Amino acid sequence: MGKVLVLNGPNLGQLGSREPEVYGTQDLAALRELIVAEDSGLDIDLRQTDSEAELIGWLHEAKQSSASVILNPAAFTHYSYALRDAVAMFTAAGHILVEIHISNPYSREEFRHNSVISGVSTGVIAGFGFDSYLLALELIRRRLG
Ligand code: DQA
């Protein structure tokens, strides 16, 4: 069974109460349930951290265990070169990493229009709420096919 790490960056632990008009009213536990309900046949591990170091450590772990990754880098998207380097190392090793966003950053403030992660990701899905995760999961399932 293919392993998939679903990694979430800072402030995503507050989903449900965080700016519900932007991110919706469902929390991470609801997302976990949605993903499990997909019954994708994949071994899925959903995590969240506010720490850049921890997120980078999880990418190193994913590389080590040849997992695929769905990554919502949250605000790190826009400025973390350290995270970018970890993603680049991971995808250069031939693994799939889908960058996802719940909102569409391009329809929001200008600082959100730039992602330092997208250029080293396998691909990007943004703007579909929690469906962004489910679309990424389907994509990984097909690629691992
Ligand atoms: C986000 C978009 C980012 O700009 C923001 O900093 C987040 C969440 C999203 O999922 O829409 O924390 O990644």
The domain ranges of the chain are 3-144
Q: What one-character-per-residue DSSP string does the chain give?
A: --EEEEEE-TTGGGTTTS-HHHH-S--HHHHHHHHHHT--SSEEEEEE-S-HHHHHHHHHHHHHTT-EEEEE-GGGGGT-HHHHHHHHHHHHTT--EEEEESS-GGGS-GGGG--SSGGGSSEEEESSTTHHHHHHHHHHHHHH-
In this structure, the residue with its CA closest to atom 7 of ligand 1 is: 74
Separation of 15 CA from ligand 1 center, angstroms?
11
| pLDDT (0 to 100) of residue 21 | 94
Ligand 1 atom nearest to CA at 11: 12
CA distance 105 to 85: 21
Architecture of the domain spanning 3-144: 3-Layer(aba) Sandwich (3.40)
What is the block-wise mean pLDDT of the chain (145 residues), using blocks of 10 residues? 95 95 95 91 96 98 97 98 98 98 97 98 98 97 91
Q: What is the pTM of this model?
A: 0.97
CB 128 within 8 A of CB 135: yes
